[in-house]
Structure 1
């Protein structure tokens, strides 16, 4: 078994940071679905602005809101307006590594989906 990238939301913009909330990251439900992320799933969050990397879990945000909110202690790792990369991983059998392709979701500054890539297949979505 190997740990492989399963999901990526690329350069999302933090919309809020709520230190007094339980630790997690709240992500727009639509982004979660397209990226293949589930509530309470472990993710890594890489802050492009300050270089920090944290591990937390996902909480489902309102669909279509564009919400990306760092909660609890994670709120200290980024500020509203920072760009982040959200990564989800899964265990893949050696055999499945030959055909495995992660879901890559690209967003604009308002966290609206602009492109989705699944391996070599790529499609541009209307914004």
Structure 2
């Protein structure tokens, strides 16, 4: 049997950009991608804290240290610059593996800089 668990999340990240014309998804500061254990092009779910909208897209890399959380293409219609959100990646595990797994939770400040990760 397989179960799906949260693999990693970035909690309360602030949307910094929205671009309807760019092909893509959600651009995430490389430092945050690494801290959360995400892979470039990995499917992520985004939960907007301010408006309650939830959607799935894929992660693309923004420059390290930029603090960028940028929504592009269709995702840019679902949140506004300044909105806070949660970005989550999930993974499938065998039950035995799942009981020992611990997700990476990244807390960020208002500039999307890592406060804590673990």
**Band the TM-score falls in, shorter-chain normalisation:** over 0.9
**Alignment TM-score, normalising by the size of structure 1:** 0.91
Task: Provide the aligned length of Structure 1 versus Structure 2.
Answer: 117
Matched, 1:47 2:48: yes
Q: For the residues of structure 1 that align with 2:24 and 2:79, how far apart are their CA atoms?
A: 13
User: Partner of 2:77 in structure 1?
Assistant: 76
User: Partner of 1:120 in structure 2?
Assistant: none
Query: Which structure 1 segments of 5+ residues have no match?
Result: 118-127
1:95-114 superposed matches below 5 A: 95-114=96-115
Query: Which structure 2 segments of 5+ residues have no match?
Result: none
Q: For the residues of structure 2 that align with 1:48 and 1:22, how far apart are their CA atoms?
A: 24
User: Partner of 1:123 in structure 2?
Assistant: none
Higher relative contact order (CA 8 A, sep 6+): 2
User: Partner of 1:18 in structure 2?
Assistant: 19
- How far is the alpha carbon of 1:38 from its aligned partner? 0.8
- SS of equivalent to 2:95: coil
